[in-house]
Amino acid sequence: MESQLLLPACYLPPISYFHTIQEHSLPLVIEKYEHFQKQSYRTRARIASANGVQDLIVPIQHGNKDRVPMKDIRISYEFDWQRLHWLSIQTAYRSSAYFEYYEDDFKRFYEEKFDYLVDFNVAQLELILKSIKVKRAIAFTTEYTTTSPETPDYRQVIHPKKESILSNPKEYYQVFSDKNGFYPDLSIVDLLFNQGPQSKSYL
């Protein structure tokens, strides 16, 4: 029997992440004990810029161990990536229909310093769920386990190097679509800034 939806903690997750949440109507359980995965959505968000798809990557502190639990991954502030990310987001979306409406809510993630990646990602997740008016309880794993076939497990499924789980994604207006065409399954902020309150119905 389905009881919870198991998801990774992602940085400004892709639309498919929230489509999955809408599809299952289950309490969310965020994985904290998996080994950190490089080149995944855990540190990577994709937005639509004037020059095409742009990856925003959160730098992390690299220790001596290769296999570090997600809960122990610390964000690096050796260079001012927050300023660069926020500038990129502003440049990409300042002319979108709803950017100003949400701007202050998201700006704080580029002014405050979070020690741990999982805390940074989950705080964004809480804001995004509120913004798209999706109510879900969020819990966390207490250890890493394999799941039964009955538990929807998306820890390895939603990944930038894998085919999107969004089949035949509907197009919506994007700021640079006249120039670049439509890009599916970008970060949820692309949908939110362009569609605002209609975002939930798109999912």
To the nearest 10 degrees (0 to 180), the angle between helices 117-131 and 99-107 is: 150
- The pTM (predicted TM-score) of the whole model is 0.94
Check residue 1 and give its pLDDT: 40
pLDDT number for residue 152: 87
CA distance linking residue 154 with residue 100, whole number of Å: 32
Show the CA angle centred on residue 23, arms to residues 19 and 24, nearest 5°: 125
Q: What is the pLDDT of residue 2?
A: 53
- Local confidence pLDDT in tens for the 203 residues of the chain: 458 899 999 999 999 999 999 998 889 999 999 988 889 999 999 999 999 999 999 999 987 677 899 999 999 999 999 999 999 999 999 999 999 999 999 999 999 999 999 999 999 999 999 999 999 989 999 988 877 667 788 889 999 999 999 988 999 999 999 999 999 999 999 999 999 999 999 99
Question: What distance in Å separates the CA atoms of residue 15 and residue 130, rounded to the nearest whole number?
Answer: 15
* pLDDT for residue 64: 67
* C-beta separation of 119 from 107 below 8 A: no
